[in-house]
Chains A and B, each alone.
Chain A
Amino acid sequence: MKTSSNNLLKSNAIWLVFLAEVIIFAVASGGTFISSNNIVNITRQISYYGIASIGMTFVILIAGIDLSIGSIITLVNVVCAYLMVNMGVNMWLALLLSLCLATLIGVLNGAMVASIGIPALIATFASQTIFEGVAYLISAGRPISGFDPNFGLFGRWSLGPVPICAIIMVLCFAIGSFILNKSFFGRYFYAIGGNEEAAELSGIRVNRIKYLIYALSGLFAGLAGIVLLSRSNSAQSTVGKGLEFDVITCVVLGGVSVNGGVGRMSGVVAGVLIIGSLTNGMILMDVSEYTQMVVKGIVLAIAVGIDCISKKRQAT
C-alpha cells in the first residue's frame, strides 16, 4: 500500500510542483496570478513553445536533440511574413509554404543525423546558425508587418474566453500523445531510444524513423512560429533566439530522459505549464529579464541533474 502510494506520488510529482508554484505566485501577487485575464495571458504565452515541445519530445526520446527549433521559428516568422507582405501571397498559401519549409529543414536535420552520422547536437547547431542567418538575410534585420487582419486567428483571436492558440496547442498535444501512445510510430520512437541496434534488427527502418522524427520536430516548430507571428503581428529576425532552451527545459522537466527511451506527453504538458507560469509569475513580480534567464537556466540544470542522478543511482 505504502509502495503504491509512493509510486503514485513519484509519478505525479511534477504536477505537485506546478500546484506549489501556482500557490506561491498566487499569494505573492495578491491573487493577480490566478485572475482570469492572467490565465488567458499564460495560455497565450505558453502556446508556441508548448507546440514546439511536442517535436522536441520525439527527438529527445530517441536520445537526440534539436537545437534548430528557435531558428526554424524565426525563419518561418520571416518567410511567412515576407510571402504575405512583400510578395502578396494568399495567407493560407503562405502558411502552407512556411510549414513545408519548416518540415524540409527538419528533413535536412534528419539527413545529417541519420544518413551522414553527424551527432545531433552538432548537426542541429549548424542548422540553427545557417537558418538564423537566412532569416536575417531575408528580412535584412528589419521587422515585417502589415498582415491580413484574419491572420490574427492563430495568435490573438479567441473562441469565447479560450484563446485559439491554446486550442491549437491542446490539439497538437492530443496528436502528439496519440502518436506516442497509440500509433506504431510511437512504439518505434521508444524502441529506438531504448536500443537502436536491436530495433533495426527487429525490422524497424531506424534511419527512416529518424528522418520522420526530425521532420515532425521541424513541422511543430513551424506551427509554433506561425502562432508566434500571429500573436506578435510582426516578424523579426531575432524572435526565436534562445527559444530552444525553453523548449528543452519544458521537455526535460516533464520527465523525458536525456538518455532517451523514457518519457510521456502528459509530463511535457506539466513541464510547459511550469515554465509558462514561472515566466509569467516572474514578470508579475517585476523580476528583470536577466534574472529570469538565470532562474530558467537553474531550472534546466536541476531537471537534467535529477535525471542524471536518478539514472546513476539505478546503475550503482
Chain B
Amino acid sequence: MIKMYEMNEAGMAYFRELDPQKRRKLLRDLPDLEEEALDFCRMLYQQRYTNPKHPDQAADNWLWKFVYLPGLFKRRRFLPGALKKEMQGTLKELHLEHPDDLSGIHKTILYLEFRNAARRYLSTCKGDHYARKFLGLRSATDREKRNQACEDIWMVSKGLARITGQEENLEIWCEALYEELLEYDPDSQKYYEELDAKGGIA
C-alpha cells in the first residue's frame, strides 16, 4: 500500500478534472503545494499532453498506453522484443524506472495522475463505440462494456507487469488503476480477481 500525502481541495480538483485545458487552469491554482512538487506536476502535465511529433495537436500520451498496450499484451507471444522495448519506454515515461528513488509526495502525485489517466480512459468506455460487436454492427451491453473495461485495465497494469516481471516497478501504476476501476465499477472486483487468477484472457 502506498503512503499517501494529504492533498488540499484545489489539488484534488486538479487530479479529478479530465479536460486537459481545464486542468491547465487548475494547475495554476495549486500554490499550496511545495515548489518542487508543483514543478513535478507541471512536468507531468507537459509530458502527458504534448504531442511529440506535432506539438500543435492535442494528445494524451498516457491515455495512449491504455489503447495501445492491451493490443501488445494480446500479441505478446509473437512480439516479445517489441513488448520489452515498449515496457522500457513506458517505465521511463511513467517515471517508474526507479520508484524507490521517488519521494513520498512524488509518489502521491504520480498515483493521482495515473488515476486521472485511468479515469479518462474509463470515461470513454461508456460510449457507444466502445466494445461494439460483430464488425461494429451491434452495441455492447453495459455489462459487456464494464467487463471489457476491466480486461483492458487488468492487461495494462497487472497483466503487463506480470509477463514482463516489472511488478515492483509498476506497483503504483497497478494500484492506481485498480482503485480507479473499483470506483468506476465496484462490481468489477470479482471479475478482476478472476482475470488475475487465470492470468488473463488472451
Contact = CB atoms under 8 A, between A and B. Distances in A.
A65 B147 CA distance: 25
A201 B152 CA distance: 17
B201 interface: yes
A21 interface: no
Nearest to B120: A201
B58 interface: yes
A259 B121 contact: no
B137 interface: yes
Looking at chain A, what size class is its interface with the partner chain?
A: 35 or more
A195 B71 CA distance: 11
A241 B144 CA distance: 37
Given A119-B137, A201-B60, A201-B120, A187 B130 contact: no
Contacts of A202: 59-61, 63-64, 66-67
A259 B134 contact: yes
A24 interface: no
Contacts of A260: 132, 135-136
B92 interface: no
A155 interface: no
Nearest to A199: B67
A101 to B, nearest CB: 26
A63 B135 contact: yes
Interface stretch (A83-91, A261-269, A280-288): A261-269
Nearest to A184: B53
Interface in A195-229: 195-199, 201-203
Given A63-B135, A121-B137, A198-B66, A7 B61 contact: no
Most chain A Cβ neighbours within 10 Å, of B132, B134, B135 = B135
Interface residues of B, number: 43
B135 A191 contact: no
Contacts of B151: 314
Interface stretch (B25-33, B75-83, B106-114, B182-190): B75-83
Contacts of A198: 63, 66-67, 120-121, 124-125
A308 interface: yes
A193 B124 CA distance: 14
B102 to A, nearest CB: 25
Given A202-B59, A315-B147, A258 B71 contact: no
Nearest to A265: B78
Given A197-B129, A261-B70, A261-B71, 10 more contacts: A8-B77, A11-B77, A60-B135, A63-B136, A121-B135, A193-B71, A194-B152, A195-B130, A260-B136, A261-B74
Interface of A: 3, 7-8, 11, 60, 63-65, 119-121, 181, 187, 190-191, 193-199, 201-203, 258-262, 264, 266, 308, 311, 314-315
13 contacts: A60-B135, A120-B136, A181-B75, A191-B68, A193-B71, A195-B130, A198-B125, A202-B59, A203-B57, A260-B135, A260-B136, A262-B202, A314-B201
